[in-house]
Amino acid sequence: MSWWVVALRLTGLGWYIAFCVVAGIVLGIVLDRLTGLSPLFAITGVILGSILAFWGVYKMILPVLYGSRNPGTANQGRDE
């Protein structure tokens, strides 16, 4: 994997984390306003957004970290 592909992938991680957490908060606030349970869904949204963000980061980082050692994930279709 070339260095610029790795750089682009790592740059996108911050945006992915921010999107997941903010989406969880916004969805939680909307559900709080609809149901009247003020902090419940906002807190749940933060927790679920954080879990989703870090699970996604884990899945995106694996090919970067183990690309040369795990041919099943990062080197598919490449002849070396």
Q: In this predicted structure, what is the pLDDT of residue 2? A: 77
pLDDT per residue over 17-76, tens digit each? 999 999 999 999 999 999 988 889 999 999 999 999 999 999 888 877 887 554 554 555
Model pLDDT for residues 4-14, shown as the tens digit of each residue? 877 887 788 88
Distance between CA atoms of residues 9 and 79, nearest Å: 22
User: What Å distances lie between residue 77 and 5, 6, 23, CA to CA?
Assistant: 16, 18, 35
Contact by Cβ (8 Å): 6, 67 = no
pTM tops 0.85, yes or no: no
CB hemisphere CA count around 78 (13 angstroms) = 12
Between CA 36 and CA 29 the distance in angstroms is: 10
